[in-house]
Structure 1
């Protein structure tokens, strides 16, 4: 979905970009620095007790960290393969790269979203009330933020995102109709948004003007709708 890096070079891409339960996902690393000697993957933001795996290039040694589940494989190019994904795998993953002096030369994070619902006979099976989470909770200017949808209702027909309250049509950011798999951008679309099939909205290159309330209207096949809101902090 997105990555946050302390350098302008190292990037991480999720392959595939969207992953369901029991599928595999590759955290594909690009543009590694040439002077690295080792790297380590973490679940979260580099808490040493949350290490997944490490790799040293000189002797091609690798080892598991405290939170290694047996489903992770780390490769020499820095990439990480996570197999048989579960809902609990949702979260931030961080890659730290070290040079020969043991100094950290790069820290890059990416958020993995595993949808918290299952498709059954064309319907979404879930029980809890819908909610939206801002990931990260506070986003720096120029970075990316994911407005992550949790627990969408059954019988979804589509989604509508608003910048602000949902009463005004000129505040529509985007609409998505599931049957057609089509996205229609609204008057409030800024050219920096990506809308996902689960209703989540990714906003790139955040500016101070993006600060404020966002509303998601969920349209159902029974012609009813419900709304969830989130406050974006820039």
Structure 2
């Protein structure tokens, strides 16, 4: 059919790329899928390193897929892969450091802070229709760990804990590098500071939460601005935005993507015992401040709990020396 003829040949031209990306961006059958997940390997990457945008659950029987830089505009194409001929072609946003693979994954080599941002993966089936659109966010740090502590730029970032969550489980959006003199935290479902997609506002001075139209009854906002979503459903995956309002009325924004892990179906999840995990919120506590140990996957038949402190074991495990 005519649509397939513009995909890939041995000598792909800029005009062929333009025809295909125009079709990918305007097809009226565009649909989104919750089943595809994209994970960064390693989870955190520093400037100068390489990172793989690893794709899981790519739809079967597709004709081609393409990677784009950004969310809305499909003009910034990085690369496209035609499965029918095992050929790839580069787009206008290709810098010479990207490699696209048959399984959908994209390798970025020698990344810089300018590579931070959103990346979109779209796939096309053999009938010439868009079958999936998946967006993920990449953050490139100037440098990484220093004695167990993440040392990044001053801009606030959000970490998803865990990076990919199973349906029915909980996920915590944890804030790193928050600014000083914060007046309020405002969470939104999707990108954009619109009232209709506002989940909640947390007012620092009042220590109170004001719920918005997008509140589902399953969210909790903590004093450090972190957002916990209980009982994740297939409607929850996507982009979330945090707006931090400072006392000088300057607003800072950060984004995070909630990814749904569908590698295990609900029936199989019941047969597998998940390990109990503990997250520290906030990750780096200050003297005189509060800290919360958040427990995940606690068995339902537990009759009692016990907490013990072993400072020597913590110090030994971290590899850091304890300062007097």
Match for 2:64 among 38, 41, 60? Answer: 38
**1:1-234 superposed matches below 5 A:** 6-45=32-71, 47-115=73-141, 130=154, 132=156, 164-167=202-205, 191-192=228-229, 205=236, 214=244, 230=252
In proportion to residue count, which structure has more strand?
Answer: 1
- Residues 146, 72 of structure 1: alpha-carbon distance in 2 compared, 3 angstrom cutoff: farther
- Residues 146, 47 of structure 1: alpha-carbon distance in 2 compared, 3 angstrom cutoff: farther
Aligned residues: 176
> How far off is 1:49 after superposition?
2.7
Contact 2:141 2:152 in 1 (8 A): no
Contact 1:13 1:29 in 2 (8 A): yes
- The one-character-per-residue Cα deviations of 1:61-94 (angstroms, maximum 9, x if unpaired) are 0011111011111000000011111011011100
| TM-score, normalising length: structure 1 | 0.57
Aligned mates of 2:58, 2:152 — CA distance in 1:
41
| TM-score, normalising length: structure 2 | 0.43
- Name stretches of at least 5 consecutive residues in structure 1 with no aligned partner: 135-143, 154-160, 172-184, 194-203, 217-226
- Residues 145, 38 of structure 1: alpha-carbon distance in 2 compared, 3 angstrom cutoff: farther
- The one-character-per-residue Cα deviations of 1:6-43 (angstroms, maximum 9, x if unpaired) are 11211111111211101111111111111201000000
Contact 2:175 2:226 in 1 (8 A): no
- The one-character-per-residue Cα deviations of 1:124-164 (angstroms, maximum 9, x if unpaired) are 686xxx55589xxxxxxxxx9979878x89xxxxxxx9663
Note the aligned Cα RMSD (angstroms). Answer: 4.6
> How far off is 1:191 after superposition?
3.2
Match of 2:114, SS? helix
- Residues 124, 10 of structure 1: alpha-carbon distance in 2 compared, 3 angstrom cutoff: closer
Contact 1:38 1:56 in 2 (8 A): yes
Aligned mates of 1:107, 1:75 — CA distance in 2:
17
